[in-house]
Amino acid sequence: MSQSFVLDGKGIPFEDGQTILQAAGNAGVFIPHLCFHPEFKPHGSCKLCTVKVNGRHTASCTMRAMPGMVVESNTEELNGERRALTQMLFVEGNHFCPSCEKSGNCQLQATAYHLGMMSPHFDHFFPNRAVDASHPEFLLDFNRCILCSLCVRASRDVDGKNVFALSGRGIKTHLIVNAKSGRLADTDFSLADKAASVCPVGVILRKRQGFAVPIGERRFDKAPIEASAKEA
Amino acid sequence: MHAQGVAGVVDRVAARYRRDPTCMVQILREIQEACDWISPEAIDRLQATLGLPRTKVEGVAGFYSFFYLNPRGRYRILFSDNITDRMLGSKALIDRLCNSLWVELGKVSEDGLVSVAQTACTGLCDQGPALLVNNYAIGGLTPQRIDEIAELIRSRTPLPEWPAEYFRVEDNIRRTDILLGSELTPGDALRAARARAPDEGLMASNMRSWREGLPTGLGGPVAVLDEIKRANLRGRGGAGFITGLKWEACRNAPLKAGQQRIVVCNADEGEPGTFKDRVLLNTYPDLVFEGMTVAAYAVGATRGFVYLRGEYRYLLDRLNAVLAERRRANLLGADILGNPGADFDIEIHVGAGAYVCGEESALIESLEGKRGTPRNRPPFPVTNGYLDQPTIVNNVETFAAAAMIALKGGDWYAGIGTKHSAGTKILSVSGDCERPGIYEYPFGVSVRQVLHDCGARDTQAVQVSGPSGICVAADEFDRIIGFEDIPTAGAFTVFDHSRDMFEVARNYVHFFQHESCGFCTPCRVGTSLLKNLMDKLHNGAGSPYDFAEIENLNRLLQSMSHCGLGHTACNPVLDTIAKFRPAYEKHMIHSEFTPAFDLDRELAEARQMTGRDDAGAHLASVHGGRA
pLDDT tens-place string over residues B409-448: 999 999 999 999 999 999 999 999 999 999 999 999 999 9
The whole-angstrom separation of Cα B198 and Cα B11 is: 51
Any residues with CB less than 8 A from the CB of B338 and at least 6 apart, and which? Answer: B330
Q: Do B522 and A167 touch (CB under 8 A)?
A: no
Give the count of beta carbons closer than 10 Å to the beta carbon of residue B221. 29
Q: Which amino acid is at B33?
A: E
Could you say which of 3.30.420.40, 3.10.20.600, 3.40.30.10, 3.40.50.1820 is the CATH number of the domain covering B424-499? 3.10.20.600
At B213 the pLDDT is 47
Q: Which of B531, B545, B560 to mutate to test the interface with A (most CBs of A within 10 A)?
A: B560
Give the count of beta carbons closer than 10 Å to the beta carbon of residue B358. 28
Phi first, then psi: give them for residue B492, nearest 5 degrees.
Answer: -145, 90
For CATH 3.10.20.600, the residue range(s) in chain B are 424-499
The whole-angstrom separation of Cα B178 and Cα B180 is: 6
In CATH, the architecture of B502-585 is Up-down Bundle (1.20)
The whole-angstrom separation of Cα B316 and Cα B311 is: 11
At B590 the pLDDT is 78
Average pLDDT score over residue span A132-155: 97
Question: Which value, in Å, is the radius of gyration of the alpha carbons in chain B?
Answer: 25
Three-state secondary-structure class, residue B76: strand
Residues B299/B516, Cβ–Cβ less than 8 Å: no
Residue A57 with chain B: CB contacts under 8 Å:
559-560
pTM over 0.90: yes
Phi first, then psi: give them for residue B516, nearest 5 degrees.
Answer: -55, 135
At B36 the pLDDT is 95
The whole-angstrom separation of Cα B313 and Cα B352 is: 9
The whole-angstrom separation of Cα A36 and Cα A51 is: 14
Residue A171 with chain B: CB contacts under 8 Å:
513, 516, 518, 524-525, 527-528
The whole-angstrom separation of Cα B119 and Cα B121 is: 7
For B188-414, CATH number? 3.40.50.11540
Q: Do A88 and B518 touch (CB under 8 A)?
A: no
At B1 the pLDDT is 66
Q: Do B59 and A48 touch (CB under 8 A)?
A: no
Any residues with CB less than 8 A from the CB of B256 and at least 6 apart, and which? Answer: none
Below-50 pLDDT ranges, chain B: 200-204, 210-211, 213, 215-218, 622-627
Residues A150/A203, Cβ–Cβ less than 8 Å: no
Residue A146 with chain B: CB contacts under 8 Å:
521
Q: Calculate how close chain B gets to A179, using CA atoms only, in Å.
A: 7
Q: Is the dihedral of CA B451, B454, B456, B461 positive or negative?
A: negative
If you ran DSSP here, which 8-state letter would residue A172 be given?
Answer: G
Three-state secondary-structure class, residue A173: coil
Q: Which of B354, B516, B521 minimises the CB distance to A46? A: B521
Residues A45/B523, Cβ–Cβ less than 8 Å: no
| Full set of structural domains in chain A with CATH | 3-74 (3.10.20.740), 96-226 (3.30.70.20)
pLDDT tens-place string over residues B159-218: 999 999 999 999 999 999 999 999 999 999 999 988 876 654 444 455 555 445 454 444
The whole-angstrom separation of Cα B108 and Cα B105 is: 8
Phi first, then psi: give them for residue B471, nearest 5 degrees.
Answer: -100, 120
Residues B530/A84, Cβ–Cβ less than 8 Å: no
Q: Do B524 and A171 touch (CB under 8 A)?
A: yes
Residue A147 with chain B: CB contacts under 8 Å:
518, 524
Helices (H) and strands (E) in chain A, counts: 5, 10
Residue B529 with chain A: CB contacts under 8 Å:
88, 91, 122-123
For CATH 3.40.30.10, the residue range(s) in chain B are 75-170
The whole-angstrom separation of Cα B336 and Cα A1 is: 52
The whole-angstrom separation of Cα A20 and Cα A5 is: 9
Residue B525 with chain A: CB contacts under 8 Å:
88-89, 91-92, 171
For CATH 3.40.50.11540, the residue range(s) in chain B are 188-414
At A228 the pLDDT is 86
The whole-angstrom separation of Cα B627 and Cα B620 is: 10
The whole-angstrom separation of Cα A164 and Cα B45 is: 20
Q: Do A176 and B62 touch (CB under 8 A)?
A: yes
For B75-170, CATH number? 3.40.30.10
Q: Which of A81, A171, A172 minimises the CB distance to B559? A: A81
The whole-angstrom separation of Cα B389 and Cα B22 is: 14
- Phi/psi-derived region of residue B240, left when phi > 0, alpha when psi is between -120 and 50, beta in every other case: left
Three-state secondary-structure class, residue B1: coil
At B217 the pLDDT is 45
